[in-house]
Amino acid sequence: MSIERPAAVLALLLAVSALAAGAGAGPAAAVPDARLAVSDVTVTPGTATVGAQVVVDATLRNSAGSPSAIEVRRVELRDGDDTLVTATEVGSLSAGDTLAVPLETTFDEPGVQTLTLRVVGEADDGDRVTITRPVPVTIEQAPPQVAVQTGPAAVDSPTRVAVTVGNPTTAPIRDVAVRLADPLGAPNRSVAFVPAFAAGTETVVNLSTVPDEVGAQMLGVVVAYTDASGVEREVSRDVAVSVAPHEPDLGVEVRQRPDPEDDGGAVAGGISGLIGSGAAGATGGGEEPESPQTTYTVEVTNFGSVQASDIVVTPVTGNHTLPRQRLDGSLGPGESGTVAVDLGEVRSHGTVEFRVGYRAGTRAASMTYAYDYRPEVAGIELTDVAVSRGGNGSIQVSGNIVNVGRGPAQGVVVEVVRKGNVTPTYPARRYFVGELDGSDFAPFDLTARATGAVDEVSVRIIAREDGVESTRTVALPAPPAGSDGGNSLPTGLLATLALGVPLAALVGVGWRRRRGGHMGDGEES
């Protein structure tokens, strides 16, 4: 028993050992799913955009406690039942190893999506392990946003193309090139470059083209850029453009500038153009008369269909050309611009031509505007003149001196000219009128003597305006000697006076006689 009992115990132990050994020699158990894991997932760029490349980096890990290496057969990125991208035969993971798997894809629509990362692995004994992990992504509208606007388009005229480029996403774009893909004709400025666009910014790029055909056409614009992931991409836009015929048409308006001090002002000029030579001279004492306003504004308006540039305005009066003035910038259809022109050199009423030379689109053009210039200058004339002869050769000249202009004349004097057989005599060889306002008149009487045959009597008018003294001599027919009533002469010096002033009215005679007066007999003529 004692012998047998130890033997029985030994047999039992051997049986247990055999069972344990048999259990260990059977088939290996499957590797638990937890041994293969996705340790990290990153999405680049952080904000995905429509049409731009997106990289999903998945980091796979085989646990250090795994009894077997794992062969990664497939890694998929899925959107519901659709597989977006698949990587096969990725590599092997020993216990404790990690493996990075990049998956590249693009998205056609903006929005928030939850994708699925699916990994299929295989152990050494052929058993398969499948794990999944959700990958949320936000898809924004593709940059850049492009809007195209064109100005008025006409044949052979530069047409502005304004391209607004915006980056509405949270990622920058760079190396932006904006170009005209279909410029409608000869490109004037067909490409522009912008180094970079920060997130949420926009800018306007100005291009231009010169159309060569009339009618509706399509203008193409292409924006090329590099996205945040370094991929070169481009966006195109087409816009319909209606091209008008080449029609240059500039309009001109001339108006006097207001005086900066009294909100008015007279037009420059002088009486020299009307009554004499106009040689400049200093004022003979007293206060210098106030200078009239002589600056005019010339407004140029583009009524045509083409752009007007290089605009130069040249005032011309008679054979005299005044200084040219250049208009700053160019005028598109419907736009206006102004230049200032000084007409102080023009001393008489008449037509001033404003000759405008310019470029109508790509062609040279010109136009002329005639302006009826009426400066506030004096215009001295004689009217209702009567020449009579008495006994002993006496001659009397009477009439009215009239200022038919708009400006005043100072120091006005009427005198008989010593000429031939006519000699000025006392008491009225010279008559001093003084100042004569525009549309005003003054009566005068002059006396002289004839020492022989006389056919005419010469009368000299002296006046000063704005410091400029002018003279004019008028020859008046003399009646025969011994005529009683004299010779009343509507001399034609003022054949028509459209001022509505009754120049022969006696109501002003007494006042004018008190204002003016005869000069002393001792004065020489």
Query: What distance in Å separates the CA atoms of residue 363 and residue 502, rounded to the nearest whole number?
Result: 57
From the number of C-beta atoms within 10 Å of its C-beta (0-12, 13-18, 19+), residue 66 rates as buried
Identify the H or E element spanning 400. strand 394-403
Q: Answer whether the bond into residue 143 is a cis peptide, omega within 30°.
A: no
Segments making up each domain of the chain, as ranges: 34-140, 145-244, 250-373, 380-518
Task: Report the top-level CATH class of 250-373.
Answer: mainly beta
* CA distances (Å), origin 429, targets 411, 417, 425, 434: 16, 9, 5, 16
Q: Answer whether the bond into residue 427 is a cis peptide, omega within 30°.
A: yes
Structure-token pair, residue 84: 């977006």
Q: Provide CATH code, domain 380-518.
A: 2.60.40.10
Structure-token pair, residue 432: 């001093």
Which residues, including other chains, have CB under 8 Å from residue 428's CB and lie 6 or more apart?
445, 446, 447, 518
Q: What is the residue-level pLDDT of the chain in tens, covering all 525 positions?
A: 333 444 443 343 344 344 444 444 444 444 454 478 888 999 988 777 777 788 999 999 988 888 888 899 999 999 988 999 999 988 888 888 899 999 999 888 888 889 999 999 888 888 888 999 999 988 877 678 899 999 899 999 999 999 999 988 777 889 999 999 877 887 778 899 999 888 889 999 999 999 999 999 999 999 999 887 787 888 899 999 999 999 999 999 999 887 555 544 333 333 333 333 333 333 334 444 455 578 899 999 999 999 999 999 999 998 899 999 999 999 999 999 999 999 988 877 789 999 999 999 999 999 999 999 887 777 788 889 999 988 888 999 999 999 887 778 888 999 999 998 999 999 999 999 988 888 899 999 999 999 888 999 999 999 987 667 889 899 999 888 766 545 444 444 433 333 323 333 222 232 333 344 555 443 444
Same fold, 34-140 and 380-518: yes
Closest listed residue to residue 378, CA positions, set 433, 458, 309: 433
C-beta atoms surrounding 129 within 10 Å: 22
Which pLDDT score, from 0 to 100, does residue 521 have? 43
* CA distances (Å), origin 156, targets 31, 248, 329, 335: 79, 11, 18, 18
C-beta atoms surrounding 206 within 10 Å: 11
Closest listed residue to residue 475, CA positions, set 497, 454, 453: 454
Structure-token pair, residue 127: 């058993």
Closest listed residue to residue 402, CA positions, set 499, 292, 473: 499
Which pLDDT score, from 0 to 100, does residue 481 have? 74
Residue 293 is classified by DSSP as P
How does DSSP assign 133-173, residue by residue? EEEEEEEEPPSPEEEEEE--EETTS-EEEEEEEE--SSS-E
Query: What distance in Å separates the CA atoms of residue 391 and residue 314, rounded to the nearest whole number?
Result: 61
Structure-token pair, residue 412: 């006005």
From the number of C-beta atoms within 10 Å of its C-beta (0-12, 13-18, 19+), residue 69 rates as middle
Closest listed residue to residue 142, CA positions, set 235, 231, 49, 236: 49
Which pLDDT score, from 0 to 100, does residue 291 have? 52
Task: Report the top-level CATH class of 145-244.
Answer: mainly beta
**34-140 fold:** Immunoglobulin-like (2.60.40)
Hey, what amino acid is at 173?
I
